[in-house]
Every structure is written in structure tokens, then in C-alpha cells.
Amino acid sequence: MIYLIATLKIRPGSQAAVVAAATPCIHATRQEAGCLRYDLLASVLEPETLVFVEQWETREALDAHFATPHLLAWRAGLAPHKLEGRIEIVHPDHVEQL
């Protein structure tokens, strides 16, 4: 089992648009084989900071997710709002940064 933690910094005032763009991807991803958890959280103190917390059975399942049409559409929808991002994949024995 692995976890993916994606931290996003978005443009001020764009949280509603980002969440709206993410919603179809969230629903579709939760139906994917190997997806155990897929949640988008917003910081209470910093509304421009969003965090995806994902749990996957295997790295192969996560890799398959990276190629899905709904994730590609989400990335396109996020692009005008994203200022920066960090992705960490937490394996049982190490942390991988993308």
C-alpha cells in the first residue's frame, strides 16, 4: 500500500473554481481499481492551500490513474489556478518526490 500527498498552492480567490474542476475527477478516481482513498482537503488557515490525500493498493494502480482521461482533464482545469505544487509518494520504506 502507498500514499500520495499532493500539496497545491492556488491563486487567491480560486478555491471554488478549483474544487469544482476537481469534483468529477474525485468521483471517477474513487471508482478506479486499486484506489482505497482519494480526498481533497482545504487548509482552514490558508484557503489557497489544498491537499490531496490518496491511498493506493500498488504503485501500478497509481501509475494507471496518472493516464486516465479524468485526471488529465483535472490537470487542464487546474492549470490557470495553480501557483505551485508538490507531490510525495509514501512507500513503506521510502518517500518518492515527483
Q: Which residues of the chain have pLDDT under 50?
A: none
Beta strands in 1-98 (DSSP E): 2-10, 35-42, 49-56, 82-90, 95-97
For the record, the C-alpha cell of 5 comes out as: 500527498
For the record, the C-alpha cell of 46 comes out as: 490558508
Residue 95 makes CB contacts below 8 A (sequence gap 6+) with 88, 89
Q: What is the pLDDT of residue 81?
A: 97
Q: What is the pLDDT of residue 80?
A: 97
Question: What top-level class would CATH report for the domain 2-97?
Answer: alpha beta
Biggest alpha carbon–alpha carbon distance for the chain? 38
